Amino acid sequence: MVVASPNSILGEKIIPIDLPMIDLSSEKSIVMKLIVKACEEYGFFNVINHGIPHDIITKMEEVGFDFFAKPMEQKKLVAFDKPFGYGCKNIGFNGDMGEVEYLLLNANVPSIPNDTSYFSSIVSTYTEAVKRLACEILELMAEGLGVPNKSIFSTFITQLDNDSLLRFNHYPPKDCKDRDNSNSYNVGFGEHSDPQILTILRSNDVAGLQISLQHGVWNPVTPDPFAFCVNVGDLLEVMTNGRFMSVRHRAVTNSYKSRMSVAYFGAPPLDACIVAPSVMVTPNRPSLLYKPFTWAEYKKVTYSLRLGDNRIDIFKNC
Ligand code: GA4
């Protein structure tokens, strides 16, 4: 494992953290409780014994690295309707930059034009597998929260017109001397929360992910290439009436080795109405914290803002 440099940006505290490691092959009633606790306390957790064969993961990593190794002119040809396709340094539409190159795909059609279809077949197999894992985790969450319909969250990402994404992020090693004097320092992908329901992240054995459980404090997370790192997105925070936390995180680069992460972002159809079920209104949370909205409305606001802007508060009930 390669440890990233401290990457401390003025005034920040860096405190490494061990995320909860949840063994999905343990007894279901225990797993449900551990997942709920992790989502309340960290918004992030790792899963092992997740049932996804390592072979599927290794091949996905290979095709990812092969893609990023292509000449820039060839990668730039991979462009579809915005925001999909290949991108380098520019994040979103409002001027955010990072030391990253990426490939953003629709998780329902994870292919790139003019490919031999090998890429598509490997990436489709991987995406199907992580989607199944996401459904399993969302069902365990619903059961753990005591929601009567255990499919209440998972059904969003299984609908045919779900808006889920698959994103390959490649962070090439960056020597301090090479750095320009922009404000990006060694930030690969700046601070943000994920807008969707649930994210399932896999990264190679190179450190880079940091989460922020407290303003001004960054907690580097140790990568485990055999585990998946799962995190709560904004929509799940809304649907749990604030019980689960959509935690801000970022990726920093290092000067030693390429880091590649692949994130599956489970999202509902555009017209899905996002609201907490009535069981999430409890004596501790006696009213709905957020106004009901559609994913299309949330997504529009998301893309109108900067990466690090807070969007969930815009939908808070006064
Ligand atoms: C963060 C999570 C996902 O990577 C992403 C990102 C999206 C993009 O890169 O196009 C956004 C960002 C992400 C949130 C704010 C907006 C939209 C860049 C940006 C500045 C694909 C997503 O869904 O939201």
Phi, psi at 168, each rounded to 5° = -95, 125
Q: What is the enclosing helix (H) or strand (E) of 56? A: helix 54-68
- Tokens, residue 131: 């989607």
Before 195, cis peptide (omega within 30)?
A: no
What pLDDT does 176 receive?
56
What pLDDT does 8 receive?
57
**Minimal-distance CA residue to ligand 1 atom 18:** 92
- Tokens, residue 304: 């109108």
Q: Is beta strand 217-220 parallel, antiparallel or unpaired with respect to 13-14? A: parallel
Cα 5 to middle of ligand 1, angstroms: 25
**Minimal-distance CA residue to ligand 1 atom 8:** 92
Region of residue 127 (phi > 0: left; psi between -120 and 50: alpha; otherwise: beta):
alpha
Cα 93 to middle of ligand 1, angstroms: 9
What pLDDT does 10 receive?
65
What b-and-e string marks burial along 191-221, b requiring 16 or more CB atoms within 10 Å of the CB? bbbbbbbbbbbbbbebbbbbbbbeeeebbbb
**Does 259 qualify as catalytic in the annotation?**
yes
What pLDDT does 164 receive?
98
**Minimal-distance CA residue to ligand 1 atom 2:** 194
Q: Does 194 contact ligand 1 (Cβ within 6 A)?
A: yes
**Minimal-distance CA residue to ligand 1 atom 13:** 194
What pLDDT does 272 receive?
98
Q: Does 96 contact ligand 1 (Cβ within 6 A)?
A: yes
Prediction pTM value: 0.95
Mean pLDDT in runs of 10 for the chain (318 residues)?
53 94 98 98 98 97 96 93 94 96 95 82 97 98 97 98 98 68 68 98 96 96 96 98 98 92 98 98 97 98 98 96
Cα 106 to middle of ligand 1, angstroms: 13
Atom of ligand 1 nearest to the CA of 307: 20
Atom of ligand 1 nearest to the CA of 87: 9
What pLDDT does 184 receive?
40
From the candidates 167, 259, 285, 306, give the one annotated as an active-site residue: 259
DSSP alpha helix (H) spans, 85-231: 118-145, 154-158
What pLDDT does 318 receive?
84
